Structures are given as C-alpha cells and as structure tokens.
Structure 1
Amino acid sequence: MSRRSTAAVTRSALGERGGLTALGLLLVLAGVAALVVGAGWLGTFRARRPLLDPIAVDWLAEHADLARAIALVLGLLALVLGLRWALLALRQEPRPDLVLDHTADSELTVTAGALADALRADAEAVPDVTRARARTVGSADAPAVRLSLWLRDGADVRAVWEELDRTVLGRARSSFGTPSLPTAVRLELETAERQRVR
C-alpha cells in the first residue's frame, strides 16, 4: 500500500509515531547505559557508586535556587510539549473541500459535507446497495475517500464493485480532477429476514 493510499484507510499518525519512536529509542539507550554501568562492564567502582554522583549532589545543594528554577522550567516545558502532543493526537481529521474555481474576483467551492452527501447518494443508487456512508479525507492536494456500503442478502459483490468503480468512483475522480483517488471500501452484507415457523 502506497503512502498516499493509507490516507483512505486511516488518518496519518506520522508525527505521533516519530515522537514515540524517538522517545522509545532514548529510553532504550538509557536502559542499556544503566545495564552496562550496573553490570560492572565499565569497572566495579562505577557500578558501586550511588545513582546520583556526590559531586552533582553537592552542586545541587550549593545552587538550590538555580536547580529549582531549572527543574521548574523543564517541568513546564514537558507539560507544554505533552499538551501539544495530546491536542495534535485528538485533532479532528481534515476533510478537504473541492475548489472548482479560484480567481481574483470569485471563488467556487464544494464543501466536504456536500461531497460526502453526493458520494453517498451515488453509492445508494448502485443496485443491491441498501444504504451507504461516505467521507472525504486527506488534503485538497491529495484527497481520499472512505465508503461504507450495506448490501442486500445475496448481492453479487463483484457486480456491485464494478458498478461502484465505474460510476461512483469514476465521477469522484473526474470531480477531483485526478486519475487516481485512494479509496477504502467497507462492505457489509445484511442478513436475510428470519421467517417465523408457525
């Protein structure tokens, strides 16, 4: 699956993955360093020393105000970075609008909601589709589509797919002006109604 196609399947988490990878590598390196020192591979003297160096403890005692200020600044920085990270992870996924005409005098834009409604209506017009849900995701430069379709019991899935690709997605590709439009399609088959035996 190409990087562009993943936008149709799931929202991008590249920043979160990068941050967690960097944090994980830093913690692994700290753990390996503690293991190497604690095992005595750098000498038994270093392995027997306390966790905080006595010279560092003496310096902290002599410069208590400066140490508190540094700790406070580092704590606030960690809080701000943590809140920023959480807000980025919780932000709403972008839904691109389709700009049809953008000139100095006027602008013609189709909203993401209108695009989703048009896709849903087109998909529900496909034979054997009982209902549909659509969403445009990604960016205006690289849009993608997510479709959820509910099919009648006994529907010919291949025929539904061919009709969907030919009409619904074909119209969407021409609307977005792109030869390829990454699309994730989720199909659900509805169960047949149970008949009571009398």
Structure 2
Amino acid sequence: MARDRSRRSARGNRLGLVIVGSVLLAAGLAALAVGQGLLGGDLASAPLIGDRLNELLAQQWVPYAVVAVAFVAGFLALRWLMVQGMNDTVGRLFLERDDTGNVEMSESVARGALEQEVADYPGVRRARARLTESSDEPHLRLALTLEDDADVAHVWKRVRSEALTNLRGSLGLDQVPAVIRMSMTAPAKNPRRSLA
C-alpha cells in the first residue's frame, strides 16, 4: 500500500516535471524563433503586447482571473511540496488481528528497542532504523555508523543473528525484509607533533 503510494507519487513527479519542462522548452524555443525572425520579420519587430492584448488586459475580470489562477498554482505547488515530505514509515504495527480486536504496537517502540540494542554492539557509533511498507508485513531499513576500527563482519553477524531475530520475535513474524547500510566514521586526525 505504501509502496504503491510512493510509486504513484514518483510517477506523478516525473509526469509533472516532463509536462512543465516541455511547456517551458516550447515557450523558450518559440520566443527564440520569433526574436531571430525565423517566423517572419514583421513578427520580430512587432511590439510584445499588441492592441488586442492591451484591450483584453483592460477588462475588469482579468485581475480576478489572474488571482484565481495564482491561487490554483500555489495550491498545487504546496500540495506537491507536502507530498515530497511524506515518508513511508508506518505509524503502528499490527501484532494480531481478529474479530475480537487488534493488538498493536507503535513503530517508534519497536524501532527504539532495535536501535538501542544495535547501538550497544562494540564498534557501533549510531543506529537509525525505520519500519516501512505496511503495518502487517513491515520492512526494515537500518543505517549503522561504525567506528573506524569496528569489526564489520562481526557487527553484521550480530545484527543478523541477534537484532533481526529479536525484532521478528517481538513482532511475531517469520521474516522481516531488511536493508542494512553501514558506513564508517572518519578516522580521528593525528595531532601535530611538536618538534621542540
């Protein structure tokens, strides 16, 4: 469900950018062609705003139409910006569902426990987790920042054998698809030695 929403949002972004880019490109090419006289010398030397356009702009309804168009454009731009800020993190995780009710857990509780557990491993400086996709079958995105002298293979084995096993057990799931990204911190710079 969240994956479908993000795909639709990405498709909408691409389509919108293609449309806006095409309109701006066509307008720019048309203005360049007119300015260079490719569409006739009379058109290139004519005033930018002719008498007919002046008469149209003098109508009383024009400012109201311009304001309405500006409001619609502003609303669409604001909506687009809000969609960009949405993330696919689930709010609640469903542990059980039946006719008598639901057993739910906040995503932040599961995430916080996992982050705390992994952050306590030797060599891990920071752990950031997100549970995404769906409340029934969440996916894990885990970003680890390791110390420059950390044993990466050992950290990976502990995350896979302990942290992910504990997460699956606490959520009552057989599997939790995970993407784990590990990065190293920059080594500390050596202080300059004094030659004195």
Instruction: Tell me the alpha carbon deviations over residues 93-146 of structure 1, each in whole angstroms, 9 at most, x when there is no partner.
Output: 3421321112232111221111212211331354x2344322215331663413
Cα 1:166/1:189, change in 2 over 3 Å:
farther
Instruction: Tell me the alpha carbon deviations over residues 13-60 of structure 1, each in whole angstroms, 9 at most, x when there is no partner.
Output: 735565444333322221111112211222212222222343222233
Cα 1:183/1:26, change in 2 over 3 Å:
farther
Normalized against structure 2, the TM-score is what? 0.71
Instruction: Tell me the alpha carbon deviations over residues 70-94 of structure 1, each in whole angstroms, 9 at most, x when there is no partner.
Output: 1121122122223323333445x34
Mapped to 2, the partners of 1:154 and 1:86 lie a distance apart of 41
2:79 to 80, 84, 107: 84
Matched, 1:117 2:112: yes
Matched, 1:145 2:141: yes
Matched, 1:188 2:185: yes
Cα 1:142/1:108, change in 2 over 3 Å:
closer
Identity across matched positions, percent: 22
Query: Where do residues 173-184 of structure 1 align in structure 2 (5 Å cutoff)?
Result: 175=171, 177-178=174-175, 180-184=177-181
Please name the residue that 1:167 is paired with.
162
Cα 1:54/1:169, change in 2 over 3 Å:
farther
Normalized against structure 1, the TM-score is what? 0.70
Moved over 6 A (4+): none
Name the count of aligned residue pairs. 182
Cα 1:82/1:95, change in 2 over 3 Å:
same
Query: Where do residues 9-88 of structure 1 align in structure 2 (5 Å cutoff)?
Result: 14=10, 18-61=15-58, 64-88=59-83
Pick 1 or 2: higher relative contact order, CA cutoff 8 A, min separation 6. Answer: 1
Q: Is the 8 A contact 1:123 1:129 kept in 2?
A: no
CA RMSD in angstroms comes to: 3.5
Give unmatched runs, 5+ long, in structure 1. Answer: none
Mapped to 2, the partners of 1:116 and 1:190 lie a distance apart of 28
Amino acid aligned to 2:110: L
SS at match of 2:25: helix
Q: Is the 8 A contact 1:132 1:150 kept in 2?
A: yes
Matched, 1:136 2:130: yes
Cα 1:158/1:31, change in 2 over 3 Å:
same
Give unmatched runs, 5+ long, in structure 2. Answer: none
Cα 1:155/1:47, change in 2 over 3 Å:
same
Please name the residue that 1:102 is paired with.
97
